[in-house]
Structure 1
Amino acid sequence: MKGIILIMDGLGDRPLKSLGNKTPLQAAKTPNMDKMAEQGINGLMDSIKPGIIPGSDTAHISILGYDPYEVYTGRGPFEASGVGLEIFPGDIAFRCNFSTADENQIITDRRAGRIREGTKDIIDSLNHMVIEGYDDVKIIFKESTGHRAVLVLRGNGLSDAVSDADPKKEGNAPKKVVPTDDSPEAKKTADILNKLIIKSYEMIKDHPINKKRIENNQPPANIIIPRGAGAVPEVEPLNEKYNIKSACIAETGLIMGIARFAGMDIIEVDGATGGTDTNLDNISDTIVNHLKGVDYNFFLINIDGADEAGHDGNSKEKVEFIEKVDEIVIKKLLDIEDCYIILTADHSTPISVMDHTADPVPMVINGPEVRVDFVKQFSEIEAHKGGLCRIQGSNVMDILMDLMNNSTKFGA
């Protein structure tokens, strides 16, 4: 028996007047998700616990059965691992955005027009960076998908106790990075980062890629904004924890990095961008092809486009992307036999908020001998009527392992 957890990143939402007081998921035409709801057991999930706003990282850590309050050291190490950087104890890693700044280094676009091409060439230039006074610290950049990148600082006397530089909104300068404790290591790291941000603008503002983008009326990717500092965590391998053979199909470095730390194999997909323009046909074909094999019996799958639309505040795009996932991915999964499929989200990203919220997300489980309830539509509003009731992310793997007959008895 095989098991799948398919996470539609940021799927959850709140009712919108523009959609007739429906959520994007309610407003979308989703006959295949609705069929899953009708044939399965439904409920609501708080990926961490009620009232706690989850990040995509902490949510996935919890859903995989780890305690994020113990495992999570910051987003950076997961991003770094996800893009293939080997990181070591003592390294401090950060997630970064390629952003657009004006001549006064005021951020005019936090995501540099969601740049898709040319970031590797820009990174090649940045990897020559040396910060005056800190020649002993090695600076390593690596591009990720789209506007995302990672940064690793390697050297003695560094700390992850530093704040983020992300201004969160356009029209502001990058925030000054400050130490969050009184240690000399944190002060040193904060000073390096503040100098690094200024240096990144000086090094890449006139890069050929950016000159070309300006000529094409596109926002240049001319500054790096680091955030999510973290030291390297220790994680029990998922395969040992649950006695499974696991693999991850994901679009972003963050999710792939979490999977790598958990010891999962990574199955990469051509054309998976992490945005609403991602190649869903390739993703669905990859899922189906590997389900036919014998190498793995558990898959974590992450599809990110609904989250992007939520962060952009674009309800039309979110509805359309949900419909595309329903038609291209979910439709194919309905034909899979001898497999338990969990469809859910990691968190809500409401259009009205344009960021994550603590609203619980819908969940449905399909598979042999599932206790089918009376829910007939997959949505945030209908899910509460289902037989799963309201659970937490930390319950998901235990429930799936029990259904797969892969659990052991607690007690005599």
Structure 2
Amino acid sequence: MGGRHVSKRKSVVLIIMDGLGDRPSAKLHNKTPMESAYMPNLNRMARNSICGLMHPFREGVVCGSDTSHLSILGYDPEKYYTGRGPFEALGLGMKVEPGDIAFRANYATRDGKIITDRRAGRIDKSTEQLSKDISFKIDDVTIQVASGVEHRAALLMKGQGLSDKVRDTDPHEVGREYNEPEFIEEEGRKTSYILKNYMKRMRSILDSHPFNLDLISKGKLPANELLIRGAGSAPKLEPFEKKYGMKAGYVIGIPMIKGLAEMIGMEKIAVDGITGSTNTNYMGKIKAVAEGVDNYEFILVNIKATDVAAHDKNPLLKKEVMERIDEAMEPLLGLRDRALFILTGDHSTSSVNGEHTGDPVPIMFYGDGLNKRESEAFNEKSCSKTGFSLRGLNVMDYALQLTDRLEKYGA
């Protein structure tokens, strides 16, 4: 895909609102949060854009944020995906090397063997000391834990003969026992053995840890369990700049997507107050984009708040989040001559049942000089009426051709 630097072209800004799409909610008079939200800026952009629907991977596939981001960035998940753990670990500053096995992790609340809260009450203070105290060596394997936002964490195993062929300990719902990290295939036997021994010692430490005793004394839920899932080894991804010929930066709050961005060589654009939750610095993110379009040829932005609200089954909060995002978008209205803005989601998350769905998500290509397929509003229903749709794996190709970067296919 070389030969693209013949002249100054527009920058490309990809803004992914995590869990953007939704389904109608009785709490919103049978409308989706996007349909209910007051979004003058996004709707104005939609009326001057190419709008439609995007299937993050294939039609009907229920994607996670990891596989959908890979897909939208043009890295086929079926070829490159090895599990979410490595991205989560990289995003938390851990050094993931060949042979290492990484897991996504949650601090959770356990009563006996029963998981009573998978997020330990959404811890509102740092768990760094907990993570430090449950990082130790079992036999010849070093196990490191790093803390993320709220209850989130990552676990990294370093040693010989490790494998990602082990079962999650996370039961993925409350009221059930945690799972044992049994091996799925024979090559995972050693990893399973190490993890079982680690879990026993880890639980003993957490049960008596001053951090948790303090929480209990205040009537709060203790973080006395570390649930792990998404085992994976480090994938080999072609650097973004080599793949597309564009210098890239990122504005991201959540560790997993930050890890992916760094894995493919994107540069961090620092913004104060980005949290990966609903209290993030929306204005700061978009201001950084407006200031960065002349310094970067590509900028990736992730806004996690929409997904957080939906997972909490709170359509009213998701509507409010969309309105905050819309307010932040105002600086972009006057930049359509300098950049192509792509606004979409990585998947749809239902605020009715709190789960990801396989529904397509709205997508908008906003810039000047486009053959517009405008939508009256930026929401699921209005964008479906344009008749335009594409798959996540084609988003980058579409952006490249709109900015005159894509080479001709054929003679």
TM-score (norm 1): 0.94
Deviation at 1:218, TM superposition (A): 2.4
Q: How far apart, in 1, do the equivalents of 2:297 and 2:307 lie? A: 27
Deviation at 1:223, TM superposition (A): 1.3
Tell me, yes or no, if the aligned pair for 2:28 and 2:316 is still in contact at 8 Å: no
Q: How far apart, in 2, do the equivalents of 1:195 and 1:173 lie? A: 18
Aligned to 2:391: 392
Deviation at 1:152, TM superposition (A): 0.8
Tell me, yes or no, if the aligned pair for 2:85 and 2:231 is still in contact at 8 Å: yes
Aligned to 2:356: 356
Deviation at 1:356, TM superposition (A): 0.9
Tell me, yes or no, if the aligned pair for 1:197 and 1:225 is still in contact at 8 Å: no
How big is the alpha-carbon RMSD for the aligned residues of Structure 1 and Structure 2? 1.4
Aligned to 1:130: 137
Tell me, yes or no, if the aligned pair for 2:120 and 2:223 is still in contact at 8 Å: yes
Aligned to 2:279: 277
- Quick check: 1:151 aligned with 2:160? no
Alignment of 1:308-347 (within 5 A): 308-328=308-328, 330-336=329-335, 337-347=337-347
Aligned to 1:211: 213
Aligned to 1:58: 67
Which stretch has the larger CA shift, 209-218 or 246-255? 209-218
Q: How far apart, in 2, do the equivalents of 1:200 and 1:399 lie? A: 48
Change (3 A) 1:282 1:210: farther
Deviation readout 1:276-310 (Å, 9 max, x if unpaired) = 1112232223222223x42x110110000110111
Aligned to 1:106: 114
Deviation at 1:52, TM superposition (A): 0.9
Q: How far apart, in 2, do the equivalents of 1:30 and 1:312 lie? A: 22
Q: Secondary structure at the match of 1:409?
A: coil
Residue identity opposite 1:363 in structure 2? I
Alignment of 1:209-288 (within 5 A): 209-288=211-290
* Structure 2 gaps, min length 5: 1-9
**Over 6 Å off, 4+ runs:** none
* Structure 1 gaps, min length 5: none
Deviation at 1:262, TM superposition (A): 1.3
**In the comparison of the two structures, how many residue pairs are matched?**
401
Deviation readout 1:139-189 (Å, 9 max, x if unpaired) = 1111122211111111111111112111111122212222222x2x31221
Deviation readout 1:207-250 (Å, 9 max, x if unpaired) = 23222322333222221111000011111111111100001111
Residue identity opposite 1:275 in structure 2? S
Change (3 A) 1:25 1:85: same
Deviation at 1:118, TM superposition (A): 2.0
What's the % identity of the aligned pairs?
A: 42
Q: How far apart, in 2, do the equivalents of 1:285 and 1:205 lie? A: 44
Aligned to 1:406: 405
Residue identity opposite 2:108 in structure 1? S
Tell me, yes or no, if the aligned pair for 1:106 and 1:172 is still in contact at 8 Å: yes
Deviation readout 1:61-114 (Å, 9 max, x if unpaired) = 000011100100000111111111111111001010011112x13212111122
Change (3 A) 1:268 1:94: farther
Which stretch has the larger CA shift, 330-339 or 67-76? 330-339
